[in-house]
Structure 1
Amino acid sequence: MTVEELHVSSLIVHVNKNKADNIRASINLLTGAEVITISEQGKAIVVLEAPNQRVIMEVIDSINAIDGVINVGLVYHEFEKQEV
């Protein structure tokens, strides 16, 4: 029996609201990332799912590199171990 992990994180991403549509599309292309909403003020709620914390950090770095992203803040992180 193997033990696998599932990591779930939520982020607040401050974005240039004039680039919100492109940012939403770019984030949604990242594996395990989903934009839930972007407010009129330019605050996006993003959920991430990944097999480990390293992948979560890599996706956060990728989001930070998107044109128009101002700041990424980690709000929540949890992981569960599952026996397979």
Structure 2
Amino acid sequence: MQKKELHISSLIVQMRAHKATPIKKSINALSGAEVITISPEGKAIVVLEAPHQRQIMEIIDSINALDGVLNTGLVYHEFETIES
């Protein structure tokens, strides 16, 4: 049997509020990323799902590189081993 991993993380992404719409679209376009909500002040809750921790870090780096993103903070990270 082959073992695979599933990594799930949640983030708080602080952004310039006037750029929230294009940032949300860019984050949602990333594989395994979903914006759950954005406050009027520009704080977003984002959930990530990936098969490797390295991919979670790559998604976070991509989010940090978006124009208007000020800060990204990891709130939660868990992984499960899945037997297939």
Note whether the superposition's TM-score is higher than 0.5. yes
Shift of 1:5: 0.2
Q: CA RMSD in A?
A: 0.3
CA–CA separation in structure 2 for the residues paired with 1:26 and 1:16 = 14
Q: How does 1:1-84 map to 2 (within 5 A)?
A: 1-84=1-84
Give how far 1:13 is off: 0.1
Following superposition, the deviation at residue 68 of structure 1 comes to 0.3
The answer for unaligned runs of 5 or more in structure 2 is none
1:32 counterpart letter in structure 2: G
Aligned length: 84
In 1, the alpha carbon distance for the partners of 2:30 and 2:54 equals: 15
Q: Which runs of 4+ in 1 moved over 3 A?
A: none
Give the letter for the 1:17 counterpart: A
Residues of 1 paired with 2:34 and 2:66: CA distance? 15
If the length of structure 2 is used for normalisation, what is the TM-score?
Answer: 0.99
- Residue 69 of structure 1: CA displacement? 0.2
TM-score w.r.t. length of structure 1? 0.99
Spell out, residue by residue over 1:10-42, the C-alpha distance to the aligned partner (whole angstroms, 9 max, x if none). Answer: 000000000000000000000000000000111
How far apart in 2 are the matches of 1:44 and 1:15?
Answer: 8
- Paired-residue identity, %: 69
Report the secondary structure of 2:82's partner residue.
Answer: strand
**Letter aligned with residue 32 of structure 2:** G
